[in-house]
Amino acid sequence: MIIMFYLLSVFLLFGALIRTNKQGIFLLISFVILFILSGFRDVNVGTDTSGYQELFRRLERGGTIRQEIGWQYLNKLVIYLGGKFEHLMIMSSFLILVPVFYVSRKYSTNPMFSIFLYFAFYIYLQSYNITRQSIAISIILVAYTLLVKRHYWSYLILIIGASFFHVTALLCLPLLFINKLPDRSFIYLTFIGTSLIAGVFLSNLILQKSTALFGYQHYLERFDSGVGIGAFLLLTNAFAVFIVYTAKERGTLFKLFIAYVVFSNLAIAVPFGYRVTFYFTIIQILFFPTYINSNILKSKQLAFFLVVIYAYLIFLRSFGAGEIFPYTNRLFLWN
């Protein structure tokens, strides 16, 4: 079963090599595959799924839960319609994937490459665990397209809407001011370097304060992070510096990419910090297709190759995290 996920990444990448106007069938097939794998996964797949099942059963019995109101109402809607927890998983997967495919199809210069990156950066597979946060992340992705258009009030509304599923989405509020960041390489590099130093020496203090603010400090007590942190820091920051010097188009998407690197640095050594970072990680699925078409390198193929290598290194580092294996699918009884 593990090999299937590697083969799926190859299929998604192959679709990215097809001309954009011919990618429709690949997008459809990709959506169906990702939806089936996520929506019909067994309750034992992922660290959090069984916990979500218990919350659902508590509401079924007429009890209450403390999770965000959006997640509560989604559970209650399924219960009202006579559904079971399995139907909640299906609906959640739909809410996670539809915004991603919509944004990729409408705003990406290479939709299938965006879907490949969504998979390779492990955002998709983490949705097997952080389901309600993944819904919020997908809403944030839509919000970013509004930020690019400088529709600030609409962006604000979507951020608040995302917080109804996971309150940590409010961490994206400061990005309202991202376009005020001066387009200077020195400033970008200063932010990257400063955040790297702060992340190494102050990250625990930073995220403890942030999670306490949103009421999620209990996560810090339950997770042992740190595997491959040094290599990840080196890879992410070295590639970010390379991007700073080679990108031609340095508009909102570029600045959001810098924001991702900065936040990733700040949260790198903090337990469960990676969960919050995904709000920023996802901007890469729009940024990199744009970067490939607008850089100072002599060949678009070279830029494409470098981004693919970068993505696969991230994928290999993350693969298997969140206890997604052994994987079992209820629809086909895969195991």
The per-residue DSSP string of 260-291 comes to: HHHHHHHHTTSTTHHHHHHHHHTTHHHHHHHH
Signed CA dihedral, 224, 225, 230, 231: sign only = positive
Within 10 Å of residue 109's Cβ, how many Cβ atoms? 15
Is residue 329 in a domain? no
Provide the whole-model pTM: 0.92
Is residue 324 in a domain? no
Q: Quick one: pLDDT at residue 134?
A: 97
Q: Quick one: pLDDT at residue 220?
A: 47
Q: Quick one: pLDDT at residue 227?
A: 42
Is residue 325 in a domain? no
Is residue 323 in a domain? no
Burial track 58-90 (b if 16+ CB lie within 10 A, e otherwise): ebeeeeeeebbebbbebbeebbeeeeebbbbbb
Q: Of the candidates 127, 121, 122, which has an alpha carbon nearest to the alpha carbon of residue 139? A: 127
Q: Quick one: pLDDT at residue 159?
A: 97
Domain limits at 97?
Answer: 2-318
Average pLDDT, consecutive stretches of 10 residues, N- to C-terminus, the chain (335 residues):
92 97 96 97 92 95 93 96 96 98 97 98 95 97 97 97 96 96 96 90 63 54 48 89 96 97 84 81 97 93 97 93 88 67
Is residue 103 in a domain? yes
Do the Cβ atoms of 54 and 86 come closer than 8 Å? no
Is residue 333 in a domain? no
- The interaxial angle of helices 300-318 and 111-120, nearest 10 deg, is 30
Is residue 200 in a domain? yes
Cβ neighbors of 51 (< 8 A, separation 6 or more) are none
Q: Quick one: pLDDT at residue 276?
A: 86
Q: Quick one: pLDDT at residue 332?
A: 80
Q: Quick one: pLDDT at residue 226?
A: 44
Q: Quick one: pLDDT at residue 228?
A: 52
Q: Quick one: pLDDT at residue 222?
A: 43
Is residue 326 in a domain? no
Quote the number of domains for the chain: 1
Written as one letter, the residue type at 22 is K
